[in-house]
């Protein structure tokens, strides 16, 4: 029977609102780069415990911890070799239990990254599966014979470049890998695989976790007929999921992912979560053509996952007011029962301050916009410090993705460099040893201790805007209706229990006028933005890179 900690279990059973995740703010922690506690240059669970007061000071509702499971670390934890243990570089199961207990003491819920679509090739399941064609786990992974000429079964491509099929000399067959060659895909058409993965889910719920971030949630199933993906017309290709140098973008991925079978598994997964009070889930949807539709379908009703995000706001395309309005409409965020989870940055993409070339004022107004959209908001560690993308030279690069496509695509290490905690300590206070990735010198200038002491800092702005969001139920769970949208401006209304909140954002370096909807409105001067001015003629002006909130 899975371990059950009495303290954690009691806390979980006392969990209050099962809808706590609606409108919540989630803070993503990439454990390798958060805080090192033992001097080996790699962040760990004990380090996270040490920094939880910082997280609590932000006012967020939950943390999402990227993978810490046992792994050969070829993809830094997203290649799992044991789903039920902690990799020694991060600590132990005891450390994890202590982390959950401390987070709960501070009022922070814990979401962990669950990588179900694939494992490491070092996982015992795969070692057994590849040993023969008739062993008990022979069908646990996606195996297929070669074509008569020895080539792969079809034209499917890997996100990490090249064919999604790898020849295995033991079984004399190809196996499917949507990512690294060393990350074979599990066969979700096998009921034993599904049952085992649901048992893994229960294992962590029994340890007190409050939910899961589901990696590549639309990659679980493949087409059993192994049909070729059709080509995608040039004008429809997008680099939202893979960099532009990757031929993965040349295909319409109809058969290697986003299959309709997935809905049944998500329902079974949700049924397990519903056994645990207030457990939640957020899925990562990786689909460049149909991401919005999949996001809405996976979260509709109350029998699938709770929320999902795609890569629209994580892409290189600048989020103009017009684009934000389009994304919200496509995702059904105006009034559907689906629920989005919005983020600008995470461990897979260039930090948005650099990606969109935002100055400090622009960064702030976009943060306010993110925290005003209908849905749950996710912040990536260092975002609250205004960190930019770090430059990592090739000789210090760790990411296999970056090594594969260097120099046109430099990989994901630039957003994964260690967090600077102290401006006057070695390596920014991250580690007493040599960090696994270099600490960017420009980041040290924005260290948390320096910003903590400055009222006008980015860190204190994030604390203020999160507090403002939590003080307005309309921002947490209210309806959403766009009032006006153009490239340099967007305004919309959030409404909850007959309370109306008008939100306007000047997304440009020039002042603009604001037209409020009909009604009697009071500008919220307790908001972090207070620069809106109403002239003698009654017209309201919004200075450059400013926001306005008003209630009626």
Neighbours of 536 (CB within 10 A): 5
Catalytic site residue from 210, 215, 310, 312: 215
Nearest CA to 318 out of 523, 495, 508, 476 is that of 508
Q: Annotated catalytic, 518?
A: no
Cα–Cα distance measured from residue 259 to residue 309, given in angstroms and rounded to the nearest whole number: 17
**Angle made by CA atoms 12, 28, 265, in degrees to the nearest 5:** 65
- Show the 3-state SS of 99-117: HHHHHHHCCCEEEEEECCC
Nearest CA to 394 out of 417, 410, 370, 382 is that of 410
The answer to whether the CB of 284 falls within 8 A of the CB of 214 is: yes
Sorted by sequence, the CB contacts under 8 Å of residue 241 that are 6+ apart come out as: 159, 248, 249, 286, 287, 288, 311
Report the relative pairing of strands 489-496 and 69-70 from DSSP bridges. unpaired
Q: Annotated catalytic, 275?
A: yes
Neighbours of 169 (CB within 10 A): 7
Complete DSSP assignment for 461-480: HHHHHHHHHHT-HHHHH-EE
Catalytic site residue from 17, 134, 275, 455: 275
Per-position b or e across 270-309, b if 16+ CB within 10 A of its CB: bebbeebebbbbbbbbbbbbbbbbbbbbbbeeeebbbbbb
The answer to whether the CB of 202 falls within 8 A of the CB of 208 is: no
The answer to whether the CB of 110 falls within 8 A of the CB of 75 is: no
Cα–Cα distance measured from residue 359 to residue 356, given in angstroms and rounded to the nearest whole number: 9
CA distances from 77 to 81, 169, 399, 532 (A): 9, 26, 12, 47
User: Which pair of structure tokens corresponds to residue 66?
Assistant: 């990227």
Complete DSSP assignment for 176-227: E-SS-TT-PBB-TTSHHHHHHHHHHHHHHHHTT--EEEETTGGGS---TT-P
Q: Which residues are catalytic?
A: 215, 275
């Amino acid at each position: 029977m899975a371990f059950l900690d009495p303290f954690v279990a009691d806390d979980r059973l006392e969990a209050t609102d099962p809808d706590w995740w609606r409108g919540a703010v989630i803070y993503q922690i990439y454990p390798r780069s958060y805080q090192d506690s033992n001097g080996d240059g790699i962040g760990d669970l004990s380090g996270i415990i040490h920094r939880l007061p910082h997280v609590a000071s932000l006012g967020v509702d939950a943390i999402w911890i990227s993978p810490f499971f046992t792994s050969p670390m070829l993809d830094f934890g997203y290649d799992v070799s044991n789903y039920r243990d902690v990799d020694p570089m991060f600590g132990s199961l005891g450390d994890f239990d202590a982390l959950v207990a401390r987070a709960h003491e501070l009022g922070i819920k814990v979401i962990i990254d669950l990588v179900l679509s694939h494992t490491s090739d070092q996982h015992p399941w795969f070692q057994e599966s590849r040993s023969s064609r008739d062993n008990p786990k022979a069908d646990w992974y996606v195996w297929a014979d070669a074509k008569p000429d020895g080539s792969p079964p079809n034209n499917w491509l890997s996100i990490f470049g090249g064919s999604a099929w790898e020849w295995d000399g033991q079984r004399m067959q190809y196996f499917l890998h949507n990512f690294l060659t060393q990350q074979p895909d599990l066969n979700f058409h096998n009921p034993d695989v599904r049952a085992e993965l649901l048992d893994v889910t229960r294992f962590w719920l029994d340890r007190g976790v409050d939910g899961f971030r589901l990696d590549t949630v639309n990659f679980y199933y493949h087409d059993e007929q192994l049909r070729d993906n059709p080509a995608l017309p040039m004008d429809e290709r997008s680099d939202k999921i893979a960099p532009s140098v990757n031929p993965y973008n040349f295909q319409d991925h109809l058969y290697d992912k986003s299959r309709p079978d997935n809905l049944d598994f998500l329902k079974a997964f949700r049924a397990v979560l519903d056994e645990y009070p207030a457990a939640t889930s957020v899925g990562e949807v990786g689909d460049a053509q149909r991401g919005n539709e999949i996001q809405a379908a996976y979260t509709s009703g109350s029998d699938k996952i709770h929320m999902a995000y795609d890569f629209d706001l994580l892409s290189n395309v600048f989020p103009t007011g017009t684009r934000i309005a389009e994304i919200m409409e496509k995702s059904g965020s105006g009034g559907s029962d689906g629920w989005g989870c919005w983020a600008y940055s995470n461990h897979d993409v260039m930090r948005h301050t650099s990606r969109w070339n935002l100055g400090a004022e622009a960064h702030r107004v976009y943060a306010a916009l993110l925290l005003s959209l209908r849905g749950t908001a996710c912040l990536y560690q260092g975002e609250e410090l205004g960190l930019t993308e770090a430059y990592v030279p090739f000789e210090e690069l760790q990411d296999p993705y970056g090594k594969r496509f260097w120099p046109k695509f430099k990989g994901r290490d630039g957003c994964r460099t260690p967090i600077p905690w102290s401006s006057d300590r070695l390596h920014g206070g991250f580690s007493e040893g040599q960090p696994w990735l270099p600490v960017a010198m420009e980041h040290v200038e924005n260290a948390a201790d320096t910003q903590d002491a400055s009222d006008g800092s980015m860190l204190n702005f994030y604390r203020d805007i999160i507090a403002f969001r939590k003080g307005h139920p309309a921002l947490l769970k209210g309806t959403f209706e766009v009032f006006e949208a153009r490239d340099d401006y967007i305004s919309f209304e959030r409404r909850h229990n007959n309370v109306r909140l008008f939100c306007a954002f000047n997304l440009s370096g020039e002042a603009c006028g604001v037209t409020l909807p009909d009604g009697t409105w009071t500008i919220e001067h307790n908001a972090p933005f207070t620069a809106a001015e109403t002239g003698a003629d009654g017209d309201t002006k919004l200075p450059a890179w400013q926001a306005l909130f008003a209630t009626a």
